Chain A
Amino acid sequence: IAGITQAPTSQILAAGRRMTLRCTQDMRHNAMYWYRQDLGLGLRLIHYSNTAGTTGKGEVPDGYSVSRANTDDFPLTLASAVPSQTSVYFCASSDSGEDTDTQYFGPGTRLTVL
């Protein structure tokens, strides 16, 4: 693989179910991020990780959890999905050692919670 990948591409989920969105990067970037993107609201940060073993809360963390066991993987878990979590989810990574901290985004996961 090259770059950053996400799985699944799309998912329809019943409310109350647990779901994990997967994100993997092969660029050895230190930092990784999860965003949700909703029409009219732009990209909103859910959780982030500056380096393996550490995570932090973003703007809209409630209902979501993350882990960063290694450099490459940054899964996002919805413990009990609700319809308001219907959104497009983007994972991103950046090399926090660079001056620019340019983020590279995965292709996104389109999640529908019914």
Chain B
Amino acid sequence: GQNIDQPTEMTATEGAIVQINCTYQTSGFNGLFWYQQHAGEAPTFLSYNVLDGLEEKGRFSSFLSRSKGYSYLLLKELQMKDSASYLCAVNPGSYIPTFGRGTSLIVHP
């Protein structure tokens, strides 16, 4: 079976740093996605981790530990526009990713 867990909701202050965690237990693993979804819009791709370690892309970084079944998305210098849902998804190797339920991030001034 596939199981992906992430917090339902998080709040943070503009300018701060926030870490959104994702743990997974899946029957296979080829990589882990993070998507961003603003309210009323479609999910958009943020990052894809295959190997252990941290990958940085501007203000966003994503970390993966395959042995621990764990990933996090790190958002720095938070802006109001970062208020969105963040979806963790695992690629089990079948071209069909499994999505977590998403973490709603609220950034306040």
Query: A102 near B43 (CB under 8 angstroms)?
Result: no
Tell me if B84 is interfacial: C-beta within 8 Å of chain A: no
Report, as a range, how many residues of chain A touch the other chain. 20 to 34
Q: Give the residue name and chain of the B residue nearest to A90 (CB).
A: B42
Select one of B41, B95, B99 contacting A96, CB under 8 A: B95
Residues from chain A with a CB closer than 8 A to the CB of B91 are 100-101
B48 x A100 contact (CB < 8 A)? yes
Q: How far is the CA of A43 from the CA of B43 in the complex (A)?
A: 10
Contact, CB under 8 Å: A42 / B100: yes
Asked if B87 lies at the interface with its beta carbon under 8 angstroms from chain A, I say yes
Is the pair A102, B44 in contact by a Cβ cutoff of 8 Å? no
The stretch that binds B, out of A12-20, A61-69, A72-80, A103-111, is: A103-111
Q: B7: CB under 8 A from chain A? A: no
Given contacts A90-B43, A101-B97, A106-B42, contact A42 B102 (CB under 8 A): yes
Contact call A33/B48, Cβ cutoff below 8 A: no
Complex Cα spacing A33 to B8, Å: 25
A-B contact pairs, 30 of them (CB 8 A): A33-B96, A35-B99, A40-B8, A40-B101, A42-B87, A42-B99, A42-B102, A43-B87, A45-B96, A48-B96, A58-B96, A90-B42, A96-B95, A99-B50, A100-B31, A100-B91, A101-B30, A101-B91, A101-B95, A101-B97, A102-B33, A102-B45, A103-B45, A103-B97, A105-B42, A105-B43, A106-B42, A107-B41, A107-B42, A108-B41
List residues of A whose CB falls within 8 A of some B CB. Answer: 31, 33, 35, 40-45, 48, 50, 58, 90, 94, 96, 99-108
